[in-house]
Structure 1
């Protein structure tokens, strides 16, 4: 594979797009797409891309491996530096992290450096709840539909209310954000007595307003219309936010651009759900900041690598196969520390599903330490000089030392049925029946909420998830402890990664001693001798598949995501057919009255475009549509979190 293009600072790409003429801007998207698969030549610290017969773009990254200055990008054509070739190559490069301009840190490993032109960023394994950031909001039943005021407390960054059954708990994704740098403008101190609030400065309010406007333009255009020019405007606004110290807003904007590029790239998996969540986060944060909300968590912090003060004692949890785009495959070993923070040890390289199957027992190296993923997942590590990425990845930086240590059993759920291991969810369940490849189970202790689903985390035939769930489904009444990730799109579905016996009952798994009390569903194969010979039949009748279906809240999600894909024009379509498909009626019948009203109002607002006396779109109209979409998306996130608490928590 050709070496990767280097990451580019947002302001460098934005400046290149701003220097183009209107005619060249209209050709920019096609120029970026034409570069897909173009060979990249590297040497002497430079990266060269040939863009036709008479044009060659040369990038010279700085010590951090990132292009952080316009002077580090050159083109040989006569129009340079205001040329289409330069802007297209910079647009094909991945977007640098917020801290790239401050930290002289090399890029993240060889997998990041081996990608052809047109692949926007390195593929990371599924990060679960910590990977997609979004606000934690309670359902908006106390809010009038269409209101632009978003009530509710702000969540801790790193917790996703769509997958976290308890969004009020502290973040447990292993992230360690360093304190942010002081903002460019001083904050006015208001209040008296014991409580004081920091009102955002005028510079920060202006920066937040600029980000809101750029994000609203992306939302109105949809993924098909949000090409390189709109991305550049959003990146320019993100850079302005960075200069004023709005770290959380800047990070959200960079996430939107990355997920938007993923969604537009036909060679990458769909990223619609995470894109919608990233847009919700960005619009919510900027909406509150431009309204001078004094909440200090809206400012955020620069996401940097974390170095613990002392040795890091970690315990293995399980192994998860990874099958990524561009032929990547491998394994991620999940670990947890004494405080419940999750960490990951990834091993993802080119090789596809075949490598993902082999990697479960492959060697794992942390500097001089050498072991294998099976042994680490069953045991543990003591890491000194550890370097941890914001998403919890253990990085093999110089000075890191690791030693093997004993493991420990999974943390059991509390008496109400709730439990967490890092960012993963732990539940005790009883097998009820099968539904195709899915397994219907009852969460213990029984609460009469009906069955929920266990769906294969990966359905590829090279991996063992589907076969193991089929084996478990052959034993109704079996009780198992499950570690998995809640499905972001279905409230009643858990995607299990590993299972273990439930202590104190005979109706559970009998696992070999060398498995040390757990089975990784992607790698270990359950056999007949792993099950008790005589299982008591469950007292309750076997449920039908229909009883485990999700409530109709998916209808709101479909409208929210339709607006992200098709833009304002697509969001207006449901209002024109007078609810022909019965979405609003179904929501009202199921008790989601607020969701129905928000969905209807969103369609009506999208369809109505107010104009001034000169026929131009009115300023309040440009704000009303994104505010209404945001109100609907915030309600959806809160309602989905409430449903997950109902189904997965006592």
Structure 2
């Protein structure tokens, strides 16, 4: 049997399993979770198996979403099952299923069904942490970002729940979140193991049942942050966990006290509005990899008036899916293109549907025809690199701060001269008298090409580059590059294969 990754597990499934354990077994849980590393194998009919000794086998049978969402989908062959340490340890070792992504699938299914069509495969929000390629991919740290508990949904969005005041159930859910978050904070990273995380997951599920999807998402971000910190993951940052705790505690207090506004109650559903005819030009591809076991790709596009758009394909699958999705077919209006072709080409879309954050939706009425793309040296793409960098950074950060954005700062382009490597980043100077900037890896996973490409670029001081990336809102003068190209008419600069059409996607193409 080949090795396999554990599928994501719904928060309530893990919470119930932990609650069913005796106090004696709970003390052994973290050690048992650690023993599960590398033991998962592919079973029959799409199941995943973890063996403990010769006589005990735990089997996970994910549902259609690719996640374990029901207790019966996780079984153990031992005599104590289902209240056994083996089953609970495997559930605790698996990534936490992303409630936001699951809601996104359901929302798009409903939208497509209303139009008489099945939903496009893979039309799942990137996690930013998500996240949406902003949060996991946007930060490049494996952490997710999202709207705060008190933020509104932005213009043109749909609230699944709009309330003038909180219900008693929502107030109780807020109090439960406050209690669980306070205990997790007091425990700290060292003692914040599976049992502590399970209490947060139970409170998160209670918030979901009370109609508080944003509160649930905030709690899940804390759990993932604790896991990353305990595993000392390469992309883990203490500031991410601190921010997640701050957001959760502030939002939970507002809910428990009844002071939270309707924005804290808003639904997680993404709204798509009619966009009419739309011509979009490919800019680059960005691998998406979340701490929740989801992987895929987001392709960034430029639309009329310089508006940014995205087409995403994110599903359960982890790093393998993130790598393979870069050449997967684009499920949008029957267009015969893969993401690699779209990133260097374009689409003419009839009957387009567009979300508030620029995501292009799919449905029966959408028709897409491939068209010629534009080189980065051609208009309208060239205008992205002609804007003064300070003005572009301010505009990108402002756009990312708006509730409608939801995916972090917008992309910006600039021409730079590489000065050299310094610790974990490159130092570069923006051409024509611009400031010094740091270029940091967009995602540090070793199986993605980001790190190797930046290391290779750093070995050539004096190299002139055209860079397209995302400003890091947590670090001044820092850009996380997603793609690079030669500077027109400059030397020394990049020389790329002809089939790359003048630019390289740093997460996929190896320089």
Counterpart for residue 35 of structure 1: 36
Give the whole-Å Cα distance in 1 for the aligned partners of 2:152 and 2:430.
Answer: 30
Change (3 A) 1:27 1:469: closer
- Whether 2:371 is the aligned partner of 1:409: answer no
- Partner residue, 2:471: 486
**How many Å separate the matches in 1 of 2:237 and 2:491?**
41
Distance change >3 Å, CA 309–CA 19, structure 1 → 2? same
Alignment of 1:1-20 (within 5 A): 1-20=2-21
Decide whether the 8 Å contact of 2:274 with 2:354 is kept in 1.
Answer: no
One of 117, 129, 133 as aligned partner of 2:145: 133
How far apart are residue 363 of structure 1 and its match? Answer: 7.1
- Distance of aligned partners of 1:38 and 1:124 in 2 relative to their CA distance in 1, 3 Å threshold: farther
Match of 1:425 in 2: 411
Q: Which of 212, 217, 237 lines up with 2:183 in the alignment?
A: 217
> Which aligned pairs between 1:256-405 and structure 2 lie closer than 5 A?
256-265=222-231, 269-270=235-236, 272-303=238-269, 309=274, 313-320=279-286, 333-338=299-304, 340-345=307-312, 364-366=329-331, 369-371=335-337, 375-382=341-348, 402-405=368-371
CA separation of 1:410 and 1:282: change in aligned 2, threshold 3 A: farther
Contact 2:412 2:471 survives alignment (8 Å):
no
Aligned partners of 1:329, 1:242: CA distance in 2, in Å? 24
Larger Rg: 1
How many residue pairs align between the two structures? 457
CA, structure 1 residues 256+329, in 2 after alignment: closer, same or farther (shift >3 Å)?
closer
1:513–1:4 CA distance, 2 compared to 1 (3 A): closer
1:81 counterpart SS class: coil
Deviates more, 1:284-293 or 1:258-267: 258-267
Deviation at 1:30, TM superposition (A): 1.3
- Aligned-residue CA RMSD (Å): 5.3
Deviation of 1:406 after TM superposition, in Å, equals: 3.8
Separation in structure 2 between the aligned mates of residue 516 and residue 246 of structure 1, nearest angstrom = 45
Q: Give the CA deviation at 1:48.
A: 4.4
User: Equivalents in 1 of 2:509, 2:73: separation in Å?
Assistant: 50
Give the unaligned 5+ runs of structure 1. Answer: 113-120, 137-152, 158-169, 188-197, 527-650
Residue 231 of structure 1, CA deviation: 1.0
Q: 1:457 to 1:83 in 2, by over 3 A?
A: closer
Residues 275 and 315 from structure 1, CA distance in 2 versus in 1: closer, same or farther, beyond 3 angstroms? Answer: farther
Q: Is the 8 A contact 1:424 1:483 kept in 2?
A: no
Unaligned 5+ segments in structure 2 are 110-117, 125-129, 374-379, 400-406
* 1:323-371 C-alpha deviation (Å, 9 max, x unpaired): 999xx99975422444734415569999989x97x998x6755476444
Distance 1:486 1:440 in 2: 14
- 1:46 to partner: Cα distance: 5.1
Change (3 A) 1:154 1:442: farther
CA separation of 1:243/1:62 partners in 2, compared to 1, >3 Å: closer, same or farther?
same
Closer/same/farther in 2, CA of residues 202 and 411 from structure 1, 3 Å limit: farther
Question: Residues of 1 paired with 2:505 and 2:480: CA distance?
Answer: 10
Match of 2:504 in 1: 520
Mapping for residues 97-116 of structure 1, pairs under 5 Å: 97-98=98-99, 100=102, 103=106
SS in 1 for 2:43: strand
TM-score w.r.t. the length of structure 2 is 0.68
Q: Describe the superposition over 1:127-147 as per-residue Cα deviations: whole angstroms up to 9, x where unpaired.
A: 2169732678xxxxxxxxxxx
Query: For 1:347 and 1:135, how far apart are their aligned partners in 2?
Result: 19
Segment of structure 1 superposing worse, 391-400 or 199-208? 391-400
2:462 matched to which residue of 1? 474
Structure 2 residue matching 1:127: 3-state secondary structure: helix
Tell me which moved more, 365-374 or 31-40: 365-374
Deviation of 1:25 (Å): 0.8
Taking structure 1 as reference, are residues 89 and 498 closer, same or farther at Cα in structure 2, changes over 3 Å only? closer
Deviations for 1:534-568, whole angstroms, at most 9, x for unmatched residues? xxxxxxxxxxxxxxxxxxxxxxxxxxxxxxxxxxx
Following superposition, the deviation at residue 80 of structure 1 comes to: 2.6
**Alpha-carbon distance between aligned partners in 1 of 2:510 and 2:61, rounded to the nearest angstrom:** 50
2:127 maps to what in 1? none
Query: What is the Cα deviation at residue 489 of structure 1?
Result: 4.8
Change (3 A) 1:392 1:85: farther
